Amino acid sequence: MKMKAEKGAVLIFVLPTLVFLLLVFIYPLFYGVYLSLHSTAAGLRALSFVGLRNYVSVLSSSLFWLGVRNTIVYTVGTVGLTVGFGLAIAVLLNRIRTGVWVYRALLILPLGVSPVVTGMTWQMMFDPLAGIVNHLLTLVGLPTSLWHTGFETAMLSVIIIESWQWIPFPLFIIYAGLQMLPHEPFEAATIDGATIIQQIRYITLPLIAPVLGLATTLRFIGAFRSFDILYVVTKGGPGRATDTLILQAFQESFSFYRFEYGLVVGKIMLLITLGVSVLLVSRVTRGVGTGE
Amino acid sequence: MAAAKHIVMVVICLVTLFPILWILAQSLKGYFDTIAIPPKIVFTPVLDNFVQVLERRGFLQALTDSLLVAAGSSLLGLTLGTPCGYALARVRFRGSESVGFLLLITRMVSPIVIIIPLNRLFAVMGLIDSHIGLIVAHTFINIGIVVWMMRAYFRDIPESLEAAARIDGWSTVGAFWRIALPSAAPGLAATTIFCFLFSWNEFMFALTLTSRSVRTSPVFIAGEFVGYLAVEWGLLSAAGMLIVLPMLIFVVAIQRNLIRGLTMGAVK
C-alpha cells in the first residue's frame, strides 16, 4: 500500500473492530472498576462510594484464599495432565507412519464437545451407584470411588474431566512442532547408537521447548478461566472442595447478589490474565513453530 | 514394533472416545436400561429418547436460538474483524501491535471480568434476554479469533496481486474486496466454522444475559433434565448427542485450522 492512501484505509479497516471493543470491552472494564469502588449492597442502581473497602474485605476473607488455593490446584493439575499426556501422545503419533489421519480425526473430537455436555456425560459416568466407571473398576477388582460427589475426590474428578476435554489441544500444538523438526540430528543420533528414550530426552525435548512453552501457557490461561465443567458438575461442592475463584465470582454475584465480590475477583483475575498474556504475546508475535 | 505403537494408539483412542460412545449408548437405551444398576453395556437400541426429546417443549426452540445466535455472531464477527485482520497483515501502522494485543486479551480473559458491568449496560439498553444482546456478547468472544486467524491467512496470500490491482488504479478497499477477500475464501470458511462452534458451545454469557425468551442449547440442557430427585439420563443423553454431533463433524472438518485458531495463528 502506498503511504498516502494508507492512513485513511487503515482507519476504515481497523475502526469497526476498535469501536466494537470500546463499547463491549473497554467501557465495561472501566465501568466495572468504577462499580468495584462502590457498595452495591442496595443493588446496582443505588451506589455509594466506598473507595478500596471492597478490595480490602475480599482480600481479607478466608473464602477468597480458599478460592485461590482451589484455583491453583485445579490449574496446576489440569495443565500438568493435559500437557503431559499431550506430549506423550504427540511423540507416539509422530512415530507412526500409517493411518495417522484416522488417529488425528479421532483424537481431536473432545475439543468439539460442548463443555456443558462433557460435564453432564462425566457426571453420568462417575455416578457412584449407577455409573459405568465404578462398574468397570469393580469388574477388574479395583476399589470404587465417590468421584465428584466425595469431598476428598471431587477435585481430582473435575481435573480428570477438564483434562479429557483439553488433552487434544497441547497434543496437536506439540505434534505440529514435532512435524517441523529437522531429520538430521535424529539420523546422526541413530548412527551413534542413541536409544529412542535418549533421543527424546536430549534432542526432541530441547528442540520443541518453545512449542511446549506455548502449549503450557495457553492451557494455563484456559484452565484458570475454566467455568462450564465446574459449574455443571460440582458448582464448587461438595462443601467448597472445588470452589475456584471464577465459580465464587459467578455465584456470589448471581446467586447471592454480592456483586462487590464478583467485581473485585474479576479485576484480580484480569490482572493475572494480563500478566500471563504479556508473557504469551512475545511467543505469538514471534510466531512459534511457523518460522515467521 | 510398529504393531505395538498401533495397539497403544488404538487404546488411547478408545479411552478418548469412551465418553462420546457412552453418551451415544445411553441415548439409545430404553428407559429401564438407562437407570439399570449395574449399568448395561449390552442392550437393545431404541430411538425413544430421541423422539421424546424432539417433542419436548423448548428443545427445538433452544436449537433454533443457538443457530440464530451462532450464525448472527459469526456474521457480525467476520464483518467487523476481517478488514482489521487484513490491515494487520499488510500494514505496520502506529498502534498495530497494541490492537493485536488488545484482541489477544479479549480471547484470554474470562467473561466474568466484564459480565456484571455488561449486564448492567445491556439492561439499560434493553438487550437483556434478546438474540441481539447474546449475538453481541458472542461476537466479543470471537472477534479476537477472527482478526488473528484472518491476519494469518492474508499473510499467506502474495501481496503482488493487490499491488498490480492498485497500479491499475484500484483503491485499497477495492483491492481488498475484489482480490484479497476472494483469495482468502478457505480461511473465511474455516473462521466461520470456528466462530459458530464457539458461540454454539458458549455457556456463561448465555446463562446470565438471557433467560426466558432466548435459551441456547447448553443452558437448556444444563437445566432441563435435572429434576429434584432424579436426572433423566436417557433424554439428557439424546439431547446431548443432538447438540454435539454437528460440532464433532465441524471439528474434524477444520482439524488443522482448529489448532491454528486456538493458538491465535501461532501454530500452522
Range of the domain at A68: 62-286
Q: How many domains does chain A have?
A: 1
pLDDT of B157: 87
Does the residue B267 lie in any domain? no
CA-based nearest distance A17→chain B, Å: 5
Asked whether the beta carbons of A114 and B218 are under 8 A apart, the reply is: yes
Q: Give yes or no: residues B66 and B134 share one domain.
A: yes
* Dist. CA A113–CA A164, nearest whole Å: 11
Q: Which residues contact B14 (CB under 8 A, 6 or more apart)?
A: none
Percent of chain A surpassing pLDDT 90 = 56
Query: Is residue A45 pLDDT above 90, yes or no?
Result: no
pLDDT in tens, A252-290: 888 888 888 999 999 999 999 998 888 877 665 555 444
Q: What is the CATH number of the domain that holds A146?
A: 1.10.3720.10
pLDDT of A72: 95
Nearest Cα residue to A242 out of A132, A147, A112: A147
Q: Give yes or no: residues B73 and B194 share one domain.
A: yes
pLDDT of A22: 94
pLDDT in tens, B159-179: 888 888 888 888 888 888 888
pLDDT of B227: 65
State yes or no: ipTM above 0.95.
Answer: no
Does the residue A97 lie in any domain? yes
Question: Scanning every residue of chain B, which has its alpha carbon at the shortest distance from the alpha carbon of A285?
Answer: B266
A126 in reach of chain B (CB within 8 A)? no
Asked whether the beta carbons of A142 and B228 are under 8 A apart, the reply is: no
Beta carbon pairs, A and B, within 8 Å: 295
Cβ-defined contact of B140 to A249 (cutoff 8 Å): no
Q: What is the residue-wise DSSP string for B174-205?
A: HHIIIIIHHHTHHHHHHHHHHHHHHHHH--HH
Q: What is the residue-averaged pLDDT of chain A?
A: 88
Residue whose grid cell is 499473510: B155
Q: How confident is the model at residue B193 (pLDDT cuts 50, 70, 90)?
A: very high
Query: Is residue A18 pLDDT above 90, yes or no?
Result: yes
Most confident among A166-170, A216-220, B103-107, B152-156 (mean pLDDT):
A166-170
pLDDT of B203: 95
Ramachandran area for residue B63 (φ above 0: left; ψ -120 to 50: alpha; else beta): alpha
Task: Go through B23-57 and write b for each residue having 16 or more CB atoms within 10 A of its CB, e for each that does not.
Answer: bbbbbbbbeebbeeeebbeebeeeebbbebbeebe
What stretch of H or E contains A49? strand A48-49
Question: Scanning every residue of chain B, which has its alpha carbon at the shortest distance from the alpha carbon of A92?
Answer: B5
Q: Give yes or no: residues B17 and B72 share one domain.
A: no
Q: Which residues contact A113 (CB under 8 A, 6 or more apart)?
A: A121, A165, B19, B20, B244, B247, B248
Q: How confident is the model at residue B21 (pLDDT cuts 50, 70, 90)?
A: very high
Residues B232-245, mean pLDDT to the nearest whole number: 92
Percent of chain B surpassing pLDDT 70 = 98
Amino acid found at A219:
R
Residues in chain B closer than 8 A to A231 (CB atoms): 203, 222
CA-based nearest distance A209→chain B, Å: 14
* Dist. CA B168–CA B172, nearest whole Å: 11
Amino acid found at B214:
V
Residues facing A49 on adjacent strands:
A38
Does the residue A6 lie in any domain? no
Q: What is the CATH number of the domain that holds B161?
A: 1.10.3720.10
Does the residue A21 lie in any domain? no
pLDDT of B256: 78
Q: What is the residue-averaged pLDDT of chain B?
A: 89
Asked whether the beta carbons of B143 and B103 are under 8 A apart, the reply is: yes
CA-based nearest distance A152→chain B, Å: 23
Q: How many domains does chain B have?
A: 2
Asked whether the beta carbons of A216 and A280 are under 8 A apart, the reply is: no
pLDDT of B92: 81
Q: What is the CA angle A54-A57-A61, rounded to 5?
A: 140
Amino acid found at A181:
L
* Dist. CA B155–CA B264, nearest whole Å: 14
Q: Give yes or no: residues B157 and B84 share one domain.
A: yes
Cβ-defined contact of A113 to B244 (cutoff 8 Å): yes
pLDDT of A135: 92
Q: Give yes or no: residues B234 and B140 share one domain.
A: yes
Range of the domain at B9: 1-46
Question: Scanning every residue of chain B, which has its alpha carbon at the shortest distance from the alpha carbon of A169?
Answer: B259
**Predicted structure pTM score:** 0.91
